[in-house]
Amino acid sequence: MENVSANVKPALMKRDSARGGFWLVVLGAALWGVDPLFRILLLDTLTSAQIVLLEHVIIALVMFPLMWKNRSELRGLGWKQVGALLFISWGGSAIATVLFTMGLTNGNLNAVLLLQKLQPLFAIILARLLLKESLPRYFFPLALVALGGTYLLTFGFTLPIGHWKDFVQVGSLLSLGAAALWGGSTVMGRMMVGQMKYETVTSLRFILALPILLALTWSEGAAWNIPSGTSAIAGVSLNLLGQALLPGLLSLLVYYKGLTTTKASVATLAELSFPMVGVLINWIVFQEMITRPQIVGFILIWGALFVISRQGQGKDEGAGTASIQK
């Protein structure tokens, strides 16, 4: 009996850890939903590149002491790990954020948001190719259900007939590029949290992005339109701090913590909590009523996420049963 208990306990702990990690990814992605509250307001005075640069400077200053404390983890990194970190910071943190911010101002908002939701497809393909991840049972049908839910959040029950030209505009192409980079960043992040602390990965994501963001901002050549007046400066400063620390730093600390026990292909679906929170923000803050299709979309997404998380749990339970039988 003692041997049975010894085998069962680690399996149960692993199951609970995996399930908890999945919902941490959901929470971290949900925090991204408050991003437009700050970013859209900042676009009144700053360019896309300037906003992302200042956001990264703030977070880098906050996280540098922690990264310095964990600097021993940087020893012995190979080219594969360095490439993954650069992809996360340059691609997922810098370029993708700039592309998405530019997309919001250069195209149809619904088309930009919908195309960005194709991120899971990029992540699933890369996770299979690079990490050789196996997928839960019925994963693809569940993924289609979740993606269908995001469609309902954006377009409702109607087809965007007559608006297809919106999908080939500059804004939509920018959003598609951001989706590919963010999907790849999920996979690279999963690779790195298995080799160093999630706090270190979060720190490097922002610190390593600074050189390319400085280059992008400089090449843009746009003037820094600093508002005049104490109240105006205070307003911009508070928005920047809120943007950097809530949907920026806190969300990614929670996200990478969850990613330590969650497969990249599963985590990318957990990230669909992001558009749901965005809809809730529109309802609560901007008084945009939630429609019946959006309610159905909520149910579809949360139902798919719940089933996927339970399947991961069931898989670990199966491992525990095997240990008992042995």
Domain boundaries, the chain: 2-325
What tens digit of pLDDT does each residue of 289-319 get?
A: 788 888 898 889 888 888 877 775 444 434 3
CA atoms within 13 A on the CB side of 288: 9
**Other C-beta atoms lying within 10 Å of the C-beta of residue 183:** 25
- pTM for this model (two decimals): 0.77
Say what the pLDDT of residue 14 is. Answer: 56
Q: Which long-range contacts (CB under 8 A, 24 or more apart) does 281-284 make?
A: 281/33, 281/34, 281/36, 281/37
Residue 106 above 50 pLDDT? yes
- Compute the distance between CA of residue 119 and CA of residue 113 in angstroms, rounded to an integer: 11
Instruction: List the structure tokens of 95.
Output: 């370029």
With bands split at pLDDT 50, 70 and 90, how would you rate the model's confidence at 321?
Answer: very low
pLDDT at position 324:
28
Tokens of 84: 């993954």
- Distance, in Å, from the CA atom of 267 to the CA atom of 265, rounded to the nearest integer, reads 6
Q: Tell me the chain's radius of gyration from C-alpha atoms.
A: 21
Residue 293: what pLDDT?
A: 86
The tens digit of pLDDT for each residue in 153-196 reads: 777 787 654 555 555 567 777 888 888 998 999 999 999 998 89
For residue 152, the model assigns a pLDDT of 84
